[in-house]
A and B are shown apart, each in its own frame.
Chain A
Amino acid sequence: MTFVEQMDFLWSSFVALDWKMVVMWVIGGTLIYLAIKKEMEPTLLLPLGFGTIMVNLPWSGAIGPEGPLSVLFNAGIANELFPLILFIGIGAMIDFGPVLSNPKLMLFGAAAQFGIFFTMCVASMFFPLNDAAAIGIIGAADGPTAISVAIKLGSKYLPAIMVAAYSYMALVPIIQPPVIKLLTTKKERMIRMPYRPGNVSKATKILFPIVITLVAGMVAPASIALVGFLMFGNLIRECGVLNSLSETAQKVLANLVTIFLGLTIASQMVADKFLVPETLLILGLGLFAFVFDTAGGVLFAKFLNLFLKEKLNPMIGAAGISAFPMSGRVVHKMGLEEDPQNHLLMQSIGVNVSGQIASVIAGGMILNFFM
């Protein structure tokens, strides 16, 4: 064997390099750029971007039967474990106080799930129904729910669905305002909604996650793990005797799982699977879902205003998508832009957390339909 033949290993990877891999490097780099420079969901997009580069190298040892990312995928994503564990952390982060002091706000959380089902119907024109439902759930604006439902429905488009779900969640401040402005008049956006805080007993806060688990579990048993883990996290927060566990769930646990989640999902972002026309269509449909979620919430508030003496500011309906807390803040900011004295933060955050519950229930409904 000549010296040149012996040195083959140095350039064999260059020979095997495919243009599609280079495109994936650019996509990975873009995700890293968005995470660092634009601070768009950096905890997720950065590991996802880096992982994308790692798995798109010729003969990448990160994936394959013994590749660590594939092992992690089988151990934590294929069986939905990572998204569910992440839900414990999310549940521990959420304060349901604003919605418990005004439970009617939960109706907006329900209305703003419209985009999920409408997008599912539109997507069914192009995709089999299980994939269409998994694409529709991008509109849940809730990464773990989107991942969990897509896996349970056996969708082969999981990477694209996840990229769309997390990217659009980060883009809520850009996506929602034009839709809200299109559907409301300046006069409507200026409607003031005085906040009347009600005292919520500690017992109510403790029993709330248990009641939600019971109700959701009876109606949509397929979603009991989704709802249950979220509510378990909230129970840890509210019980008052597990503060250290609550803090661990909110910070250490959530951060740890997020690192693995991003890197592991990247194991599916190999060029041959990702660079297909369907990916572009899924990204478009994801945006569609967010737009129609927003529209559903706003139009529902306008509908209620037909019957109410004390009018609602229809913008709060838009906060019913579960992108928490971005959506609530967007509505609050838009209210202040129209009238510097119009503070909608508490109402919009209340609607926002109810959207979190509603999106999980919507995921459960979809699982009930198609499993």
Chain B
Amino acid sequence: MNFEPMNFVHNLSYMGVGMLGIFIVMGVIIGAVYGLGKLLGKK
């Protein structure tokens, strides 16, 4: 086990892309749920 502090900085891009990706996917799902609600009514 080595201590490589710079790896934190190098891998921050994964954090940005990962969080952005989750928000996009959840956004698409939210849109789909609203769409289903409109399409299929409330009952």
Interface residues of A (CB under 8 A from B): 100, 103-104, 106-107, 109-111, 113-114, 116-118, 120-122, 124-127, 129, 132, 198-201, 203-204, 207-208, 211-212, 215-216, 219-220, 277-278, 281, 354, 357-358, 361-362, 365-366, 369
The contact size tier of chain B is 20 to 34
Query: Complex: how many Å from CA A109 to CA B25?
Result: 11
* Residue numbers in B under 8 Å from A278 (CB-CB): 1
Query: Complex: how many Å from CA A212 to CA B36?
Result: 12
Task: Tell me the interface secondary structure of chain A in the complex.
Answer: helix
Q: Give the Cβ gap from B25 to chain A, nearest Cβ, in Å.
A: 5
Query: Complex: how many Å from CA A198 to CA B42?
Result: 8
- A126 adjacent to B3 (CB under 8 Å): yes
Query: Complex: how many Å from CA A198 to CA B37?
Result: 10
> With A129-B11, A207-B40, A211-B32 in contact, is A358–B19 under 8 Å at CB?
no
Contact with A along B14-42 (1 / 0, CB 8 A): 11011101111111111011101100111
Interface residues of B (CB under 8 A from A): 1-5, 7-8, 10-12, 14-15, 17-19, 21-30, 32-34, 36-37, 40-43
> With A107-B30, A120-B11 in contact, is A113–B22 under 8 Å at CB?
yes
- B8 adjacent to A110 (CB under 8 Å): no
- B40 adjacent to A204 (CB under 8 Å): yes
**What are 28 sample pairs from A and B whose C-beta atoms fall under 8 A apart?**
A104-B30, A106-B26, A107-B23, A107-B26, A110-B23, A111-B23, A113-B22, A114-B19, A117-B14, A117-B19, A118-B15, A125-B5, A129-B7, A201-B37, A204-B33, A204-B36, A207-B40, A211-B36, A215-B28, A215-B29, A215-B32, A216-B25, A219-B25, A354-B26, A358-B26, A362-B22, A365-B22, A369-B18
